[in-house]
Structure 1
Amino acid sequence: MTPGARLQAAIDILDTILTGKPAEQALTNWGRGNRFAGSKDRAAIRDHVFDCLRCKRSFAHLGGRADGRGLVLGLLRDAGTDPAALFTGQGYAPAPLTEADAPNPAPMPRGVALDCPDWLLPAITHSLGPQTDDVLRAMRHRAPVFLRVNLARATRADAVALLAQDNIATRPCALAETALEVTENARRLRQSRAFTEGVVELQDAASQAVIAALPDLAGARVLDYCAGGGGKALAMAARGADVTAHDADATRMQDIPERAARAGAAITLQTQPNGLFDLVLTDVPCSGSGTWRRAPQAKWALTPERLTQLAGIQRSILRQAWDHVRPGGRLLYATCSLLDAENSQIVAGFTADTANATLGAIQRLTPLDGGDGFFSAIILKES
């Protein structure tokens, strides 16, 4: 496909997404309907689509319109590229420019320039303070790809060398001793020997940092109460914990047995958790605001009503999980959110209302630290 044809494909996919279709579904459906597109074409189109979704407000401003065409025009103008060179109408390229394609001449308001919904800007500013603009600017760009080295299988240096055999370049990340940032050939990972042999797993560095900050887990009975795909459960198992995984939707855990087998880990799955544990991890459902570089559509879908609903879910999960913490044990509350309404306010309210709960160490990470935005807090249960 020509560069112009790739842009037109991105326009068509974006128009589908703007009707409410999930981005991944729209991309998959386009790929199935256009099997002539090679892997490099599909990768380039995907990058265009996600770049536009991250920067939807500012690109619409630069493109002079909020449809797929306008967003792609904004993408090019933001990069300093003259759209007229690619919008030629030739070889499946977008139609030539018209007066309707002129950029918005007005200055960009702050929320537009930072690609943040106006209603959310005060809450994010309150939560992040002087870092707000820098964090939001970082969120306009693609997230790095990180790997977690399975220390039960290899050292970080060994993993680097093994990945290099498949021409995958990496460098250590300071957020966790297990973390590697992929700098070349990330799309080869799933076919690499290091991945298939369980030496590395895809996991953001901030998620790894949350587990790395925990005290010694060797022999500890741990319940991952909102396990999902099991990334943190696997990370804790690699540190010697006896891990039980649970999720309210058991189908989310369907990949854990295969991932655990690949990693050489033993993880027990429970649809109804029972018993008491030394540590209970609650990585609760949240706005995902710390991961909007990876899932930008969620940024525009979030509403004040949904944020309030999520806070209620978070409080409910804390109460349920607390019953599984043994006296003298700990609960780790975690979100991939940047918002105080889902973080400090939740744990402060819980510890204030729970007689035997004491707030311990708190960790806050933003994309300025290198990985996703993440919050974690230890809550101690008195004996």
Structure 2
Amino acid sequence: MTPGARVAAAIGVLDAVLDGQPAEQALTGWARGARYAGSGDRAAVRDHVFQALRCRRSYACLGGAETGRGLMFGALRAAGSDPDTLFTGAGHAPPPLDAAERQAGRAPESDGERMDMPDWLVEAFRASLGDGAEAAAQALRQRAPVILRVNERINSVPQVIEKLSQDDIEAEPVTIAPTAVRVTRNARRVARSAAYLDGGVELQDGSSQAAMAALDVPTGARVLDYCAGGGGKVLALAARAEATWYAHDADVGRMKDLPARAARAGVQVHCLAPGQVARHAPYDLVLCDVPCSGSGTWRRAPDAKWRLDPDRLTELTRLQLAILQEAAALVAPGGELAYATCSLLRPENESVIKKFTEETVGWKYFFTARWPVSDEGDGFFLARFGHSG
């Protein structure tokens, strides 16, 4: 595909997303109908779409319209590129710009336009982050780093970096967590690399790694990852401690790859369906990485930013509190309960843990930490609770 054809494809995908289709679904649908597109073409179209969604409001301002075409025109203006080199109408490129399009567009003016977020969210963002709100919003407009977690059961950080280099992948250690390395070249090759296939590394954000490193796991403990998803956090814990590991998720299908990943990593994780969790209780540590807005990860899933509304945020906070209360009943006397989100928003973090301790007798939190959006990790929050009596 020519560069212009890639832009035209991105316009079509963006129009589908603006009509309400999830971005991943829209990209998959396009790829299935574009058998001629190679892996490089698919990656380029994906990059166009995701960057346009990260900067949806500011690009719409610059491009003069909140359409796929307007967003891609705005993206080119934002980058200082000449749109006429791609909007040519030749070789499946988008049609040339007309006089009205050339005259349309303006610089972003409001806070929501500059920060690329819905207007209602600006106030909540500032209330949650204070002086850091602007920097966080700007960081979410950029592409996320590719961070790997080194499995020190198998390799050291220097050994992994050397092994990755043998597959022409460049990586460097970062300071956010002792097991974290950032890929600086050929990130798309990681899943086929020897270091990945032999269990030496996993894809895991740096903030998530740092949060897991902040949890204490006594030798021989029974540990439950209560909202496990794909299981990345329980695998991070299992890489550094000898314990009995359990994982649960309300959607059991999300854990389907976990047994194979655990075996590759040299550990065993017992996957529990919802009806099996209480049967294996109590646990010395229960981790609740709860469903949330994902606001700390919006640069990775930017369409989620535009789907969130106040009602959904309220619904999430109720669910988060309910999960904490359910999980508390599974913790052994003297054990620990941990609460984590990849959200930047105070209603999902400090407000939830405050309400939990007010409404749930016998618990108090003794540790909280926030990780900002950075070039080493996403936004993340962690709280640890112990018995108060």
| TM-score category of the 2 structures, normalised to the smaller one | over 0.9
Amino acid across the alignment from 1:234:
L
TM-score where L is the length of structure 2? 0.96
Q: Residue 354 of structure 1: CA displacement? A: 2.3
Q: Residue 263 of structure 1: CA displacement? A: 0.8
Secondary structure of the equivalent of 2:211? Answer: helix
Aligned to 2:169: 168
Query: How many residues of Structure 1 are paired with residues of Structure 2 in the alignment?
Result: 383
Closer, same or farther: CA 329–68 of 1 in aligned 2, 3 Å: same
Amino acid across the alignment from 1:261:
A
Separation in structure 2 between the aligned mates of residue 107 and residue 142 of structure 1, nearest angstrom: 20
Q: Residue 188 of structure 1: CA displacement? A: 0.4
CA offsets, 1:67-120, max 9 Å, x none?
100000011001001212211111111111113323423652111011011001
Mapped contact 2:88–2:95 kept (Cα < 8 A): yes
CA offsets, 1:199-220, max 9 Å, x none?
0001111110110111244322
Aligned to 1:26: 26
Mapped contact 1:325–1:381 kept (Cα < 8 A): no
Mapped contact 2:286–2:337 kept (Cα < 8 A): yes
Amino acid across the alignment from 1:80:
G
Q: Residue 32 of structure 1: CA displacement? A: 1.3
TM-score where L is the length of structure 1? 0.98
Separation in structure 2 between the aligned mates of residue 211 and residue 120 of structure 1, nearest angstrom: 29
Deviates more, 1:238-247 or 1:213-222: 213-222
Equivalent of 1:297, from 303, 327, 330? 303
Mapped contact 1:246–1:273 kept (Cα < 8 A): yes
Separation in structure 2 between the aligned mates of residue 301 and residue 218 of structure 1, nearest angstrom: 43
Separation in structure 1 between the aligned mates of residue 5 and residue 117 of structure 2, nearest angstrom: 30
Amino acid across the alignment from 1:197:
D
Kindly report the root-mean-square deviation, in angstroms, between the aligned alpha carbons of the 2 structures: 1.2
Mapped contact 1:54–1:115 kept (Cα < 8 A): yes
Separation in structure 1 between the aligned mates of residue 26 and residue 108 of structure 2, nearest angstrom: 32
Secondary structure of the equivalent of 2:374? Answer: helix
Q: Hey, which bits of structure 1, 4+ residues long, moved more than 6 A?
A: none
Aligned to 1:220: 221
Equivalent of 2:352, from 346, 354, 359? 346
Aligned to 2:129: 128
Secondary structure of the equivalent of 2:120? Answer: coil
Q: Residue 349 of structure 1: CA displacement? A: 1.1
Secondary structure of the equivalent of 1:171? Answer: strand
Within a 5 Å distance, the mapping from 1:226-375 to structure 2 comes to 226-240=227-241, 241-271=243-273, 272-274=276-278, 275-368=281-374, 370-375=376-381
Separation in structure 1 between the aligned mates of residue 97 and residue 74 of structure 2, nearest angstrom: 13
Deviates more, 1:46-55 or 1:31-40: 31-40
Separation in structure 2 between the aligned mates of residue 269 and residue 367 of structure 1, nearest angstrom: 31
Deviates more, 1:80-89 or 1:305-314: 80-89
Separation in structure 2 between the aligned mates of residue 56 and residue 107 of structure 1, nearest angstrom: 11
Secondary structure of the equivalent of 2:119? Answer: coil
Q: Which runs of 5+ in 2 are unaligned?
A: none
Aligned to 1:148: 149
Amino acid across the alignment from 1:184:
R
Within a 5 Å distance, the mapping from 1:72-83 to structure 2 comes to 72-83=72-83
Deviates more, 1:219-228 or 1:367-376: 367-376
Deviates more, 1:210-219 or 1:254-263: 210-219
Separation in structure 1 between the aligned mates of residue 160 and residue 238 of structure 2, nearest angstrom: 18
CA offsets, 1:171-210, max 9 Å, x none?
1111111111110000001110001100000111111011
Secondary structure of the equivalent of 1:358? Answer: strand
Mapped contact 1:64–1:70 kept (Cα < 8 A): yes
Aligned to 1:202: 203
Amino acid across the alignment from 2:373:
P
